[in-house]
Amino acid sequence: MTDALHATPLADQAEYAQAVRLAVDAAAAYYGAGASALDDDSYDRLVRGIEAYEAAHPDDVLPGSPTGKVAGGAVVGDVPHTVPMLSLDNVFSPEELAGWAAGLERRLGRPVAVWSVEPKLDGLAVSARYRGGRLVQLVTRGDGTAGEDVTHAIGTVAGLPARLAEPVTVEIRGEVLMTGEQFEAACAKRTAHDGTTFANPRSAAAGTLRAKDRPYTCEMTFFSYGALPLPPQDDSDLAGRLRESPHSQIMAMVAGWGVRTTEATPVAGVAVDSIEQVQVRVEQVAAARAELPFGIDGIVIKADLAADQQEAGLSSRAPRWAIAYKLPAVEKITKLVGVEWNVGRTGIIAPRAVLEPVQLDGSVVTYATLHNPADITRRGLMLGDSVTVYKAGDVIPRVQAPVTHLRTGQEQPIEFPQECPRCGSDIDSSQERWRCVRGRACHAVASITYAVGRDQLDIEGLGQTRIVQLLSAGYVADFADLFTLTREQLLALDRMGEVSTDNLLAAIERAKGKPLNKVFCALGVRGTGRSMSRRIARHFATMDAIRAAGVEDVQAVEGIGPEKAAVMVAELADIAPLIDKLAAAGVNMTEPGATPPTAAGTAGAAGADGGDGAAGGEAETVPAAEPPLSGMAVVVTGSMSGPLAALSRNEMNELIERAGGKASSSVSARTSLLVAGEKAGSKKAKAESLGVRIATPEEFAAMLGEYI
């Protein structure tokens, strides 16, 4: 099934012949050492372009064309398969899916009663043969007719037990892949061994599965997608059940034997009774994709019943009763053409990759995160490298690794800065994240702009232009100096009249009374944002308690580990003069409703007791009963309505934490409640797939009652 929007256009016979050679070479590299010059999406588009050209020019088809062949015809194995291991045809939209389903039902002459919907795992297809419950052989898919014996990999693949829970003779089919954690471990081992790294989890798994003589071992993971009889037991009772049972029941059988399936994941296979429900599940799996610990590149839809499968039959390369709904690529290969060194508001010097523009998951990517100099060194990146770029959390593009086998010898080392690229001062390179020795003073405009933002001190009238004026005039060096500005100083600035001056002074005065969590957030301590600042403020209650805390004390705050705690304690010591200036200017240093842990233990830290209000304010009364969201992880999505209509997302998060809950930005199995307003989108779909409780804004407001 070819879609012009998802195919590489080929203008003539010469382009077609070149495309055939490129596709065959790429398939041979991928199915050989797992080191293709093309990413999956580029390869798929190329093959679809070849298919389209051949459909229009049937007399020009080359005998070496990859179309109609499993694995592109690139792999010849020496172990025959008991039943061919075929590929899948693809669709790319709800309309194409509906069209394919209608075609299948026309072929059957009846509606498909039950559909199976599973994730399409981004790995290497493998057949695992068990005799009497013991794993005796592993075979790759190869060309679909025969594959390569990789039995030597037994013992390195999690989810594929050496013995089944029952002494059955059976062939289990599935995908071998690397999870994110396994991939990082594999890259570390390879870097330690020869200084190179793997390009991506898929190629790492493909190469590792075949490797026989490496001095190090890398773990992989297996997920089953099917089972069939294994001769000579193909006339047994089990064989009969495997031939006649619905696919969903077979997968339950496989899981019962102790083989890993997707059953325990957020994208577990399900059986539904209409193509409309199939589409709903497709959207749910797609929404969960970003947070999965393993890669998927689509969703597989099958006729669940054995009778439907048998009657629909097979083509030369794919079953007619199954299809792959392909998702947009979140990983591509492009060129690293440069590295920019930027300085953040706290003085952190961050490298950014400049890339040849590449289409990735619906957007053109030109820049990507590079983390820090140590990470560049670990990954062995060089200017001019072909690099794998992916979307982290489907949002932030990141460079994953160089594709070392594509190097030409023209690549150049990346030069690290010898001085701060912003101000020319020395660099503190004692930690992995380099920093200008001037810290916040290096980029005071960014530091002050952040501090006065709406979610921190919320000082209206202080835009970046005005802050530059104040810095240039020498009136401020940091945001604490804002609280000692005089009317005369402001009136002396260009385009500052009496009304705007008085309004700005009033906004600065209001900012003095902000709760501790806002003041702490304005400090911009590394590793602490709005949510973490709220947790810290409600745990310690006062700035004095925060400053007196040691590393172990700070670790008592949820979400802070030893490394982050040490950084926070050290940074608070560094900015002690700034905090002293804020206190001397009369800025509030307490959190309403919270009590220091030394005085009232965890109850005070949770904000359940009453306490003093902000400086100059009245005491806040908090109900003595347990907060309504106590122990709950709550996610908010969509537009709020009713009593919550006027609240920003940050104000909603503050409300959640004031009511005893934990505000989160993403839905997972640990989410207790999703507050879904209008246009809730993918988060609502994911919550439904995970069985997470969902409430409207009005229902949520009723739950909170007097906390609003």
d(CA 591, CA 108) in angstroms, rounded, equals: 68
Q: Could you give the C-alpha distances from 217 to 185, 210, 213, 408, 415, in angstroms and in order?
A: 10, 12, 10, 29, 33
Burial state string for 679-696 with b = 16 or more CB within 10 A and e = fewer than 16:
ebebbbbbbbbbebebeb
Cα 72 to chain center, whole Å? 30
Determine the residue type at 538.
R
Residues near 662 by beta carbon (within 8 Å), at least 6 away in sequence: 558, 632, 633, 634, 656
Q: Comparing C-alpha atoms, which of 604, 701, 606, 705 is closest to residue 652?
A: 701
d(CA 577, CA 477) in angstroms, rounded, equals: 12
Rg, the chain, Cα only = 30
Alpha-carbon torsion angle 504, 506, 512, 515, nearest 10: -100
d(CA 470, CA 467) in angstroms, rounded, equals: 5
d(CA 323, CA 300) in angstroms, rounded, equals: 6
SS3 159: coil
Place of tokens 């389209």: 52
SS3 178: coil
β-pairing, 412-413 vs 427-428, is unpaired
SS3 136: strand
- The count of other CB atoms within 10 Å of the CB of residue 507 is 17
Q: Comparing C-alpha atoms, which of 576, 610, 256, 540 is closest to residue 439?
A: 576
Tell me which residues are annotated as active site: 120
d(CA 209, CA 203) in angstroms, rounded, equals: 10
d(CA 685, CA 208) in angstroms, rounded, equals: 36
Q: Quick one: three-class SS letters along 663-694?
A: EECCCCCCCCEEEECECCCHHHHHHHHHCCEE
Q: Which two tokens stand for residue 345?
A: 């508001």
Alpha-carbon torsion angle 535, 538, 543, 547, nearest 10: -50
Q: Which two tokens stand for residue 295?
A: 């890669």
Determine the residue type at 103.
G
Cis amide linkage into residue 266, ω under 30° from 0: no
Reported as half-sphere exposure (CB side, CA atoms, 13 A), residue 291 has a value of 18
What residues are paired with 176 via a beta bridge?
Answer: 124, 222
Q: CB–CB of 153/127 below 8 Å? A: no
Determine the residue type at 540.
F
Q: Comparing C-alpha atoms, which of 352, 406, 391 is closest to residue 375?
A: 352
Consecutive H or E run containing 62 = none
What residues are paired with 302 via a beta bridge?
Answer: 116, 322
d(CA 387, CA 400) in angstroms, rounded, equals: 7
